[in-house]
Structure 1
Amino acid sequence: MNVFSFTPRPRWMAVALASCLLSTPLLAQNSDVGSLSEARQAAEARDQARLEELLDDRQALEAALDQARAANAEAEERQEALQAMQEEQAQLAAELASRQGEQGEELTGLLATLKRHGDEVRNELGEQSWLTLQDEGLPRLGNVDVLERAQLERVVDALATLTARTGRAERLRLPVADAQGNIEEREVIRLGDFAAFTESSLLRTGAEGNAVSELPRTPAEIRATLGDYFNGESRQFAIDPSQGSVLAALAQQPSLWERFQQGGYVGYVVVVLGVIGLLVALAQYLYLWVVSARVKRQRRSLDTLKDDNPLGRVLHRFQDMDKHQTPEALEARLDEAVLAELPRIERGQPMVKLLAAIAPLLGLLGTVTGMIVTFQAITVFGTGDPQLMAGGISQALVTTVLGLVTAVPLLFAQTALASRSRYLTQVIEGEASATLADHLEAQSNARAGAAI
């Protein structure tokens, strides 16, 4: 059992020790203290009262002493720990300096070479390389001062891994963003550093290496091979050796509908007029084909005239004429009957011919309009950005193409209609002239017989 002993000391020594243990007095600013002197006297009175309490209470005094000794011991332990840490850091610095001196100029040059070539490889691969899609690629040696074996092994292993990936096709599970921005984890095939694709679309990397999204448009020539290669049914695939430049150009190539939309309102008008002209030509050509068939049947049976064809109607009118007229009068009446059938035979041809002539003019109008838009863009933005002029130039060229494409089939249709109607007219006129000649010959023979 430990017995606590207390040795009496002179009163002035106890007062001095208690004064050292007291905390700094707080000067309370009371409303009753009117001056600094009164505040000091009040603080001294409080300190004196507390000192008397400590002198009277031996246990509180001993507790304060124990607390001070514990704080002192803790401070000494902290100081010893800091000194030990300082000695350890100095020893480590000396060891690093010694190792750096031992490795010599060759290892120092090797470290510098690894840093330089590592940075070059990372810059060449870039952040959008397929090889570093799931890891960081080459380790960075920028903060390394002393080359260690483990660091050299990591660099060599990373280079070997990247080299092996360049000639290998791998299946990965990655989050892929579609054209609408929806992200879903999908199975992806990576072909070295050339391409990555899903079953139906090529992929591209974003600004961050792990961001993968579908191309806005996969070229149709490549889309046809994606599914077969993805499912293992084919070993053929199109590779872009330019690292995506050709694919980007093909993806930006507009489709037929997009080219048509580049023509603007003038292009719409040209196409609508062309469609109207072709419909009119088709309807008239079908009518002429039906009429030709009926005329052919009528020519085989001239004794039975029908009114469903122009030849039958012309010959029927000739039969109803007064045959006692002069030959000139009969011929004029017969020509009149033939001319009455021409409007229906030649119907639609003037309109088709007019549209065939108007289409190139409208295309020229679109060309002029597009060039005006181009010159306005040049005036406002200058010639530094060709994309600003591409819209006007596209409109100018597309409308010209639409005008020519519309005019060419209309010209063919108008030529077909003209040839078919000309053939029918010649058949009708020939049969009518033959009928008139037979009538005049029969009439002449009758007169000659009567004279005999």
Structure 2
Amino acid sequence: MKLKVCLSLCLFSLTTSVMADNHNQTSLVNQAQTAQQQERQHNREREASFQQTEQTLREEAERLQKTKAALQKEIDSLTSQFSKNESALAKQEEKLRLETGSLGEIFGVVRQNAKTLRSDLSHSITQIDRQTYTPVVDDIVAAKSLPSLKQLNGLWQSFNEQIRASGEVAAVNIPYVDEAGIKNTEAAARLGSFGLITEQGYMNWDHNKQVAIPYLKQPDDGPTLNSIAPLLAGQTQPLIVDPSKGTLLAQLANAPTMLDRLKAGGVVGNIILGLLAIGFIIGLFRGISLAVIKQKIKVQLKTPERHGDNPLGRVLSVYDKEKHRSVEALELRLLEVVVDEQSHLEKGLSMLKLLAALAPMLGLLGTVTGMIETFQVITQFGNGDPKVMAGGISMALITTVLGLVAAMPMLLAHNILSSQAESIRTILEKQGIGLVAAQAENDQAAKDDVEQAA
């Protein structure tokens, strides 16, 4: 019984399991069929989309082909038109060349001369009152085509105007900036195209600011507005003119004065000038002393019996004191006095000779110092700008000049003073020798008298 029940339960369980498996299989088949239908539907939609895209691309390709054909046709047309235009342009250029002939060269010459004239006019003082045709010249310079007859006539008139203006002296009123920087109007005379003259002298015309500025330095005996009144009245008058139209006048400010040249010598130059001053004082003092002594000696020679305060008088006074001695003793005493007087006569001359020899040596020292300074400047800044090296070179040259200038007069003074001292010493020696000879004659005469008396 129990076995039947167990078998029944097992059979029921198996039947239930088979029915469940059948149900599951039916569900899976249904899901697979549904998914397959959905896949087919999706594929159909994609195929339709692809077909639509293919149709669109085909239409776009046809449109682009038509556009390409149209563009190619337009390119061919433009190429043909360009060739025709190029041919026509070449024919027109040849026609223009044949018709213009040498006018192209004339235009180049006219334009070049117009440029030169405009450059001259922009810097000329004639722009104050004699530049009526400047706009015509500017038009010719800026033109890209052949100048018209009116322009050519204006260019000729401008040249003619400048020629006339360069040969006239005209009274003008110019804007003037004084030393305080105040701008006012002042009467002036335009001397052709060379310069402006006011009461202060020549004026520098600033063409950029259209004002006149006085030059830093005027030429010697330079003209003024009052001094050229005869020229303004139509008369002739000699006048200092700057042919460079202001360049030389501007360079006058850069021309160094004697004081500037002496300052350029530096410390060495000042020492040389000091030596020159000392030598001048010594030479002047000794020259006056020797001249006075020589004059006193001349007076003494006229009156030998009166012993004055001079070298010859002292020699004669020694003779009077020592004339009772022997000739040898008298000669030695006179020689002593002459040597003593000679030392007084030559006093200071050795110093003068030393200064004359020392001055060029100091000049050489200044030259070496200046060149060292120049080389230092070249090392620091290079040698591109001569103005940077000018200080050292100027010192080198100025000290050399100062040394030579100081040495020559001192050497000449030493020679002259030495000659004067030698002349005085010669007089003293002659007089001394004469006194010794006179003493020897007296001694010999006395000896002869004694022998005769014996």
Q: Given the two structures, how large is their TM-score scaled by the length of structure 2? A: 0.67
Q: Tell me the SS of whatever aligns to 1:243.
A: coil
**Preserved CA contact (<8 Å) 2:133 2:155:** no
Indicate the residue corresponding to 1:439 in structure 2.
Answer: 439
Indicate the residue corresponding to 1:327 in structure 2.
Answer: 327
**Preserved CA contact (<8 Å) 1:355 1:410:** yes
**Preserved CA contact (<8 Å) 2:223 2:240:** no
Query: Structure 1: which amino acid aligns with 2:363?
Result: G
Per-residue Cα deviation, 1:93-146 (whole angstroms, up to 9, x for no partner): xxxxxxxxxxx999x999x88994686145422533111135686114359999
Superposition deviation, residue 419 in structure 1: 0.4
Residues 451 and 130 of structure 1, relative CA distance in 2, 3 Å threshold: same
Indicate the residue corresponding to 1:298 in structure 2.
Answer: 300
Per-residue Cα deviation, 1:66-117 (whole angstroms, up to 9, x for no partner): xxxxxxxxxxxxxxxxxxxxxxxxxxxxxxxxxxxxxx999x999x889946
Superposition deviation, residue 182 in structure 1: 5.6
Alignment partner of 1:311 is 2:312: yes
Please list every run of 5 or more consecutive structure 1 residues that lacks an aligned counterpart in the other structure.
1-103
Residues 165 and 341 of structure 1, relative CA distance in 2, 3 Å threshold: same
1:409-448 to structure 2, matched below 5 A, reads: 409-448=409-448
Please list every run of 5 or more consecutive structure 2 residues that lacks an aligned counterpart in the other structure.
1-98
Q: Distance in 1 between matches of 2:180 and 2:364?
A: 39
Superposition deviation, residue 284 in structure 1: 0.8
Indicate the residue corresponding to 1:216 in structure 2.
Answer: 216
Superposition deviation, residue 247 in structure 1: 3.8
Indicate the residue corresponding to 2:408 in structure 1.
Answer: 408
1:206-245 to structure 2, matched below 5 A, reads: 206=206, 208=208, 210-220=210-220, 223=222, 228-230=227-229, 232=231, 235-245=237-247
Q: Distance in 2 between matches of 1:350 and 1:445?
A: 45
Superposition deviation, residue 321 in structure 1: 2.4
Q: Distance in 1 between matches of 2:171 and 2:223?
A: 20
Superposition deviation, residue 167 in structure 1: 2.1
Residues 418 and 450 of structure 1, relative CA distance in 2, 3 Å threshold: same
Q: Distance in 1 between matches of 2:379 and 2:329?
A: 74
**Preserved CA contact (<8 Å) 1:226 1:237:** no
Per-residue Cα deviation, 1:340-396 (whole angstroms, up to 9, x for no partner): 222321122111111111110111111111111111111111111111111211111
Per-residue Cα deviation, 1:222-267 (whole angstroms, up to 9, x for no partner): 6268864355485222334333344444553322222222212211
Per-residue Cα deviation, 1:154-193 (whole angstroms, up to 9, x for no partner): 7666555434322221111223335665655332211222
Q: Distance in 2 between matches of 1:392 and 1:430?
A: 57
1:159-238 to structure 2, matched below 5 A, reads: 160-178=160-178, 181=181, 183-206=183-206, 208=208, 210-220=210-220, 223=222, 228-230=227-229, 232=231, 235-238=237-240
Alignment partner of 1:128 is 2:123: yes
Q: Distance in 2 between matches of 1:137 and 1:196?
A: 22
Q: Tell me the SS of whatever aligns to 2:125.
A: coil
Residues 315 and 400 of structure 1, relative CA distance in 2, 3 Å threshold: same
Q: Distance in 2 between matches of 1:180 and 1:403?
A: 43
**Preserved CA contact (<8 Å) 2:272 2:403:** yes
- Higher radius of gyration, 1 or 2: 2
Superposition deviation, residue 435 in structure 1: 1.1
Q: Distance in 1 between matches of 2:289 and 2:183?
A: 59
Q: Distance in 1 between matches of 2:328 and 2:182?
A: 87
> Which among 131, 134, 150 is matched to residue 138 of structure 1?
134
Considering fraction of residues, name the structure with more helix. Answer: 2
**Preserved CA contact (<8 Å) 2:370 2:393:** yes
Query: Structure 1: which amino acid aligns with 2:357?
Result: A
Superposition deviation, residue 215 in structure 1: 1.5
